[in-house]
Structure 1
């Protein structure tokens, strides 16, 4: 995530998210002069330099746990979660606390280790009860299981990506504009001091059938010598709003903490259709930064991202309205949108749906894409789902006028560079509950359900199910088929209550929203107990196939099983139960024995270790 934050919004990283490092990590005392240099490089966000020093000291065994923690955080910010998790493991989970513990959980989320991440995040939430990030992230496993059960998008990698970072797409009149730090064919190769990558510039690429033309630099004469982009246009293409971290100066303009700031500048066309010199918007503040502008189609509201005072955490989503009298005062989008984490890249479609990226709301790891709809004066926020979101950073969305297609950026595996542009097509839209009845999802003559194992995601058949409507009235009962599905006739609005019972699963009763079809029900399996073994002849030791095994219990139905061609069997049993087992086959003397799962370890136990399963010929 560091590359995203550092090159497109590093003012946020420094002054808020990473600026908080000065408080979060100021207790770390260097163990040596050399480690002091690494810590200073970390504080300056010169991460490659910090890693080089830290790694040398790690090989020499000269890093204490706090310094190792900084190394792990540095790896994570440079999008190397495997190395980050490895170093945190070396430190030991029991020795982690604060931001180190939180970053460890986030690294595990990025690696898809959601169960471990959730366990660690719950501990962090207990130790940091005021951190809203943690409260939102403690149910990641359940969310990911739910999100990945439904494929909502078709996505494809654009062929105009480079080996560097490409992001911030904006489509206007058949031309795709985006920000990139790809190399330019210039005599002087300028590089950032922090990660030695080129500075951002804005490029354009014309739509050509199924692809795009070779990207070209936008306005070569108007580019600055530092970061330019991302940008947006107004509806008729006569205005540009651009993120830039210099303005009319070859010198970096620094804030009070010695870090360079970003601001939003404005270009407009004159009567001769030429672009005027840029002007700074009044929303910019000298002590903070603003970027990621998006102007609504009516031209009356500019959304942007800022780390200014009055926010909720790292970077927040803000907006400023425009009237004939000019620009009004900036307004924070509110707690339904913003968290203690980072929110950025706002976009509003023609229906008033707000899209943005966040690492503070419940997601799949890293930055996720979210959408929010305002209802009764408050925003309702929803994760955009799978596969537009992944365990990596997914951000900077643009939705076309058709409302069904668009573009976004991600650093997920399989791309061409650090961050890549993707095209998406919606195949199953996210539905807000208040819209569900309008789309026929909450008022229909049939409701379809699907029952799956919470751990394996496999369908479960022969489950007895009963369903109540939103008023608590009985709708009907059913038994799930081999695909785990069943249908209940009738209609309801908003939600249903489902009661389910299946062998080897805990009883289930839960109220579920009816916002998609099928409604997915996840049953929690009870701990696995069972027996396995092999039946053989007592005279020559050869295996016996087709032996009937009768499993009887006073509290359960009697079941029968058969041994396979090798005389083997595997039978699942219930916990805390007593059984009578009988092994019989024509021509052999039966074997009878008792078995109890009380005080037994979970898993399948080898019955050959405790019972002689050698059958004697009867004649």
Structure 2
């Protein structure tokens, strides 16, 4: 994995077995990936993609990495001509072509500003680009529409020749810059950091803490517009070498990272993930083809449940009354209902709530007040209680921010087809599958949770599906509510 060697951050791990995971994504190798060179770290740029590659941009190469005899990294731009049809990759800008490594990069929302990685010494013509005296730094440039040129790159104020600063990722609001560094004071080899923009200047780097950073190495952060942080790590229970994880902030702390399943992760190096604002498609990088690093596109395979109905709640409560009952002397007798569930109630008209569906036998007996015994039975009725025929979400209606909630689909009552899979959509951009799922919310608000079920496909490839939705209200945590009360 060449780019990791170049930044001198990475120690290869032994290959381990890969467990079997559900295939929740469709992936495809993008056509601008090559067999002989590395392509990695895509970034969104004005509807196009900018990525890193060490392919030759000209036949007149007069500088190279003396250890691997390959040109340094440059940034390339490729246009998506139409959906899933890509143009030819071309050098992003000659202004960012130097004698050293250029990229990965991140852009602001308009594409007018760029933060990118490069070697601090980018003038040398030949040599070893992982030289400890030529660390990586982050650089900034702004595009001038009048001159149609980028400004001269300026170094990030915290660059330090003793350490590496790399892999920048700018938040959508442009107020936070995430990056990687091996600076002193971290938890492992390389850690993830963030700087906050304060009065037009970047504040001091803040380590993301032990929930994100490990004794190993964390790389390639990507901060999504929703606040979800994607990154790669060789720890956190990685199934291969580098694996891709994501995390979100809960009560100002990062939650335990979640491992992305196959086919995103493999027993090879998987890294550099980006995903669009609606989380409908994205890209990531991998060396699973063994010859070089390549860029893959992915799309979720979750089916759509367009005709989902609002969930109805099962009502097991009844009012019982016997129209044809006799009127025995109330001073001597009284009525008593037995409900077939071990419970009884006195009176001609009573209310009773059963615990759930089932077959019950109702009896209306006339009780002798003197003896307390049944004088005679007025009526006997069978009662069959069934759940509503629907998909069912068993979950609380109100939860707290950061609270781990179990969503259960076992009370689903579908009889016209056998359920093959359960699909959850939690209304905050996160989805999963399984009859049961655990989830937490990071922001207060009202969410629509959807559960859909599908049958196996028949010989013609058709399947049955059904879905419901319910509202979940997410309130502040007890700590937050206490803080607001004290304020």
Aligned to 1:194: 67
SS of structure 2 residue aligned to 1:292: strand
Mapping 1:415-564, distance limit 5 Å: 417-428=291-302, 491-493=394-396, 494-495=405-406, 516-519=432-435
Q: 1:444·1:490 contact (CA, 8 Å) conserved in 2?
A: no
CA distance in 2, matches of 1:428, 1:322: 38
| Correspondent of 1:311 among 186, 199, 204 | 186
Mapping 1:30-49, distance limit 5 Å: none
CA RMSD of aligned residues (A): 3.4
SS of structure 2 residue aligned to 1:424: strand
Q: Does 1:410 align with 2:283?
A: no
Aligned to 2:77: 204
| Correspondent of 2:26 among 148, 154, 161 | 154
After superposition, give the CA deviation of every residue in 1:61-117 in whole Å (9 maximum; x if it has no partner): xxxxxxxxxxxxxxxx4xxxxxxxxxxxxxxxxxxxxxxxxx4xx32x1xx2x5xxx
CA distance in 2, matches of 1:289, 1:401: 30
Q: 1:245·1:252 contact (CA, 8 Å) conserved in 2?
A: no
Q: 1:266·1:281 contact (CA, 8 Å) conserved in 2?
A: yes
| Correspondent of 1:389 among 258, 261, 265 | 265
* Structure 1 gap segments, 5+ residues each: 19-76, 78-102, 115-143, 430-439, 447-473, 478-486, 499-512, 522-619
Q: 1:254·1:261 contact (CA, 8 Å) conserved in 2?
A: no
Q: Does 1:293 align with 2:168?
A: yes
SS of structure 1 residue aligned to 2:65: coil
Aligned to 1:184: 57
SS of structure 2 residue aligned to 1:269: strand
SS of structure 1 residue aligned to 2:88: coil
CA distance in 2, matches of 1:315, 1:427: 34
| Correspondent of 1:374 among 249, 264, 286 | 249
| Correspondent of 1:233 among 75, 84, 107 | 107
CA distance in 1, matches of 2:143, 2:174: 15
After superposition, give the CA deviation of every residue in 1:367-407 in whole Å (9 maximum; x if it has no partner): 11111011122212101212111111110011112222111
CA distance in 1, matches of 2:391, 2:55: 56
CA distance in 2, matches of 1:372, 1:490: 25
Identify if the C-alpha distance between structure 1 residues 340 and 489 changes in structure 2 by more than 3 Å, giving closer, same or farther.
Answer: same
The structure whose RCO (Cα within 8 Å, separation 6+) is larger is 2
* Structure 2 gap segments, 5+ residues each: 315-354, 359-389, 397-404, 410-423, 438-487
Aligned to 2:240: 365
- Shift in Å at residue 191 of structure 1? 2.6
Structure richer in helix, relative to its length: 1
| Correspondent of 1:250 among 124, 128, 132 | 124
Q: 2:134·2:161 contact (CA, 8 Å) conserved in 1?
A: no
Q: 2:32·2:88 contact (CA, 8 Å) conserved in 1?
A: yes
Q: 1:396·1:408 contact (CA, 8 Å) conserved in 2?
A: yes
- Equivalent residue pairs, number: 330
CA distance in 1, matches of 2:408, 2:50: 48
Aligned to 2:223: 348
Identify if the C-alpha distance between structure 1 residues 254 and 402 changes in structure 2 by more than 3 Å, giving closer, same or farther.
Answer: same
CA distance in 1, matches of 2:125, 2:89: 29
Q: 2:190·2:218 contact (CA, 8 Å) conserved in 1?
A: yes
Structure richer in strand, relative to its length: 2
Q: Does 1:174 align with 2:53?
A: no
Please report the TM-score for the alignment, with normalisation by the length of structure 2.
0.61
Q: 2:25·2:300 contact (CA, 8 Å) conserved in 1?
A: yes
Q: 2:121·2:134 contact (CA, 8 Å) conserved in 1?
A: no
CA distance in 1, matches of 2:142, 2:233: 31
Aligned to 1:571: none
Please report the TM-score for the alignment, with normalisation by the length of structure 1.
0.49
Aligned to 2:4: 5
CA distance in 2, matches of 1:317, 1:309: 13
Mapping 1:76-91, distance limit 5 Å: 77=12
| Correspondent of 1:217 among 91, 109, 113 | 91
Identify if the C-alpha distance between structure 1 residues 258 and 410 changes in structure 2 by more than 3 Å, giving closer, same or farther.
Answer: closer
Identify if the C-alpha distance between structure 1 residues 155 and 323 changes in structure 2 by more than 3 Å, giving closer, same or farther.
Answer: same
CA distance in 1, matches of 2:238, 2:132: 34
